[in-house]
Amino acid sequence: MGVEVAVEGLTKSFGSQRIWQDVTLTLPAGEVSALLGPSGTGKSVFLKSLIGLLRPERGSIVIDGTDILQCSSKELYEIRKLFGVLFQDGALFGSMNLYDNVAFPLREHTKKSESEIRKIVMEKLELVGLLGAEDKLPGEISGGMRKRAGLARALVLDPQIILVDEPDSGLDPVRTTYISQTLIDINAEIDATILIVSHNINLARTVPDNIGMLFRRELVMFGPREVLLTSDEPVVKQFLNGTMIGPIGMSEEKDEATMAQEQALVDAGHHAGGVEDVEGIVPQMKATPGMPERQAVARRQERVRHILHTLPEAAQQAILESLEHENTMSDFIGSEAPTTVLPRVAL
């Protein structure tokens, strides 16, 4: 099972520019979390801070009992072995075929034989739907296939924590859905802790167990999906519904006068864009039939039930209906669904 990542009071600047400050959150072990926010809010900076590629000025990042901001270089090296990272472009070596790209971490960090390495590499390539493409170079395949090859490479050391930076970057909605399904299936199989950095609304609403939102150099909220999807926090509601009405503007946050003018237009019948027709708790993506049941779902639902009484009445009602629907569907799928694995498309 994955390990918990506890972040406390984290602050990061580049020179005089403050990126974000006093960020505190805990990524629950074995669950899928997503960190959202408009472009330029430092989401990728946060991800790089978690693995020690960037060093925040203040705060702590405790992973498996070790604060990586206080530990030695040797301790940090060992902690990094817990991670698998999928960068935006896959970060593949252009001169290596997919097989050698995926095998690279095993050859660098283990003493496994080539026969052992081959077994692991082929398993991971199969997991991401790339069997048969192992001899191709990165330049010979699509962007989606490069992403999946990068994911296979991130998985070869059996990481307990998987960081995914903008999995939808450069992909159309269909291919993004297949990447999202692969991440859900991986969580079902190995119960890894997964953090996805994204600004994709559909991914945010349907994939993670937990959602966090960065805005105005602060973490606005972080918590179970049910809580964020029923939140009345203006920036969270605007972002998750993709509307123009709210604090987020084209280049910077809006002032109160601008927000009042926009709301008046909406009240007069002007359409604000976005996806208001699906406000609320949309169903979460499930593991592919035939995969193990995701243990993260039950753990998250239990946490939600414990905090339910602290939420507004309307949110409580929506969450209770959602929990009842999810459990009913799980019972139906468990008894009726076929056990065949759905076919994959070439990304």
Same domain flag for 210 and 242 = no
Consecutive H or E run containing 19: strand 17-27
Residue 297 lies in a domain: no
pLDDT score recorded for residue 128: 85
Same domain flag for 116 and 179 = yes
Spatial CB neighbours of 157, under 8 Å, sequence gap ≥ 6: 81, 84, 105, 106, 109, 110
Cβ atoms of 68 and 243 closer than 8 Å: no
CA distances from 301 to 24, 159, 184 (A): 22, 25, 17
Residue found by looking up tokens 């990586």 in the block: 68
Domain range for 117 is 5-222
Number of domains in the chain: 2
pTM of the model: 0.84
pLDDT score recorded for residue 279: 63
Residue 186 lies in a domain: yes
Same domain flag for 65 and 198 = yes
pLDDT score recorded for residue 197: 94
Distance CA 51, CA 59 (A): 14
Distance CA 329, CA 177 (A): 20
Nearest to 104 by CA among 143, 73, 54, 138: 138
Distance CA 285, CA 283 (A): 7
Distance CA 222, CA 102 (A): 33
Distance CA 326, CA 332 (A): 10
CA distances from 18 to 38, 216, 221 (A): 16, 10, 19
Torsion of CA 60, 65, 212, 183, to 10 degrees: 140
Residue found by looking up tokens 């001169």 in the block: 95
Same domain flag for 153 and 241 = no
Residue 54 lies in a domain: yes
Residue 182 lies in a domain: yes
- Rg over CA atoms, the chain: 21
What is the DSSP track for 188-221? HHH--EEEEE---HHHHHHS-SEEEEEETTEEEE
Residue 89 lies in a domain: yes
Question: What is the distance of C-alpha 86 from the center of its chain?
Answer: 11
Same domain flag for 25 and 62 = yes
Structural tokens at position 302:
């239990």
pLDDT score recorded for residue 334: 53
Residue 48 lies in a domain: yes
Cβ atoms of 168 and 200 closer than 8 Å: yes
Query: CATH number, domain at 212?
Result: 3.40.50.300
Residue 285 lies in a domain: no
pLDDT score recorded for residue 127: 84
Same domain flag for 63 and 200 = yes
Same domain flag for 26 and 137 = yes
Q: What angle do CA 274, 319, 188 make, to 5 degrees?
A: 85
pLDDT score recorded for residue 144: 82
Q: Which segments of the chain does DSSP mark as H helices, in order?
A: 43-50, 73-80, 98-109, 114-127, 143-155, 173-190, 201-206, 225-229, 234-241, 256-267, 295-307, 313-336
User: What is the residue-level pLDDT of the chain in tens, covering all 347 positions?
Assistant: 789 999 999 999 999 999 999 999 999 999 999 999 887 889 999 999 999 999 999 999 999 999 999 999 999 998 998 999 998 766 889 999 999 999 999 998 889 999 999 999 999 999 888 999 999 999 998 888 888 899 999 999 999 999 999 888 777 888 888 889 989 999 999 899 999 999 888 899 999 999 999 998 899 999 999 999 999 898 898 888 877 766 776 445 545 555 555 555 545 554 455 544 456 789 999 999 999 999 999 999 999 999 999 999 999 999 999 988 877 766 555 554 444 344 444 45
pLDDT score recorded for residue 247: 73
Same domain flag for 159 and 190 = yes
Same domain flag for 183 and 256 = no
Same domain flag for 140 and 15 = yes
Structural tokens at position 65:
């009992």
Same domain flag for 67 and 21 = yes
Distance CA 19, CA 8 (A): 16
Nearest to 235 by CA among 37, 99, 39, 76: 37
Distance CA 207, CA 2 (A): 18
Structural tokens at position 107:
């050859």
Same domain flag for 91 and 166 = yes
Residue 65 lies in a domain: yes
